[in-house]
Amino acid sequence: MTEIIVDRVGFSYRSRRQIIRAVNDVSFRAKSGKVYALVGRSGSGKSTLLSLLAGLNKPDCGSIMINGSNLQSMNPDLYRRKQISVIYQNYSLFPLLTVKENLLYPLLLNKVDKSKALLLAEETLRSVNLDKSVDNRLPSTLSGGEQQRVAIARAIAVQSNIILADEPTGNLDKENSLLIMKLLLELAEEKDICIILATHDLNLAAQANHLFQMEDGELSEVDS
């Protein structure tokens, strides 16, 4: 079982002229088998909180514990390669690799057998409603919605214990948004994965197991 404990975490962006408190005294717990949704307006701190959970930024105060280990003491490269997958708003696909190669790259990096990796890549692409015609295309030839689904498929294929998703359905139509949310909920339950996503879509967020509101860097759980 995976458990994340965030305890009184704070983080500020600093410039020569001002300090912006992006995350302010945030505490919560998340565990495997559940989907957690963060909602809030742009600039409320959702993406910053995800970046802290991904180990891309270090908190100014407080702690983030992953299965009893302080995230700040862990090897960040191994953590991001072995324990978590991140779905970014801007897709972050490798532009010179085909769709299938984008999924294969992290799998082969983690020493997955090539034949198994190929099968897993193809199965995962089908699960996000992408047919075989896209497998050998470059990301630049796909629509924004298709690129988003490739990014989601890559995160799923790695089979990490934790998936962090920043607006994972932001470029998808209603049908595909519902498909992806259903897939994430099934994935969390069946594979015992902890999924934390930030979204503006309240209807989508309401389907999560736990719903949190972020406002001015502060987090509060919304009563279901």
Output the pLDDT for position 224.
56
Over 80: is that where the pLDDT of 193 sits? yes
Q: Is 108 part of a structural domain of the chain?
A: yes
Range of the domain at 217: 32-55+71-222
Q: Is 8 part of a structural domain of the chain?
A: no
Q: Give the mean pLDDT of the chain.
A: 93
Question: Poorest-confidence range of 63-72, 80-89, 204-213?
Answer: 80-89
Output the pLDDT for position 175.
85
CATH number at residue 215: 3.40.50.300
Output the pLDDT for position 165.
93
Q: Is 151 part of a structural domain of the chain?
A: yes
Cβ 98 vs Cβ 135: under 8 Å: yes
In angstroms, the CA 152 to CA 160 distance is 13
Tokens 């190929």 map to which residue?
Answer: 118
| Across 48-72, average pLDDT | 96
What single DSSP character describes residue 122? Answer: H
Q: pLDDT digits over 108-129, tens only?
A: 999 999 999 999 999 999 999 8
Over 90: is that where the pLDDT of 150 sits? yes
| Across 150-162, average pLDDT | 92
Q: How confident is the model at residue 172 (pLDDT cuts 50, 70, 90)?
A: confident
In angstroms, the CA 66 to CA 79 distance is 10
Q: How confident is the model at residue 183 (pLDDT cuts 50, 70, 90)?
A: confident
Output the pLDDT for position 203.
86
Cβ 104 vs Cβ 44: under 8 Å: no
Q: Is 48 part of a structural domain of the chain?
A: yes
Q: Is 39 part of a structural domain of the chain?
A: yes
Strands 162-166, 84-87: pairing kind: parallel
In angstroms, the CA 65 to CA 177 distance is 31
Domain total for the chain?
Answer: 1
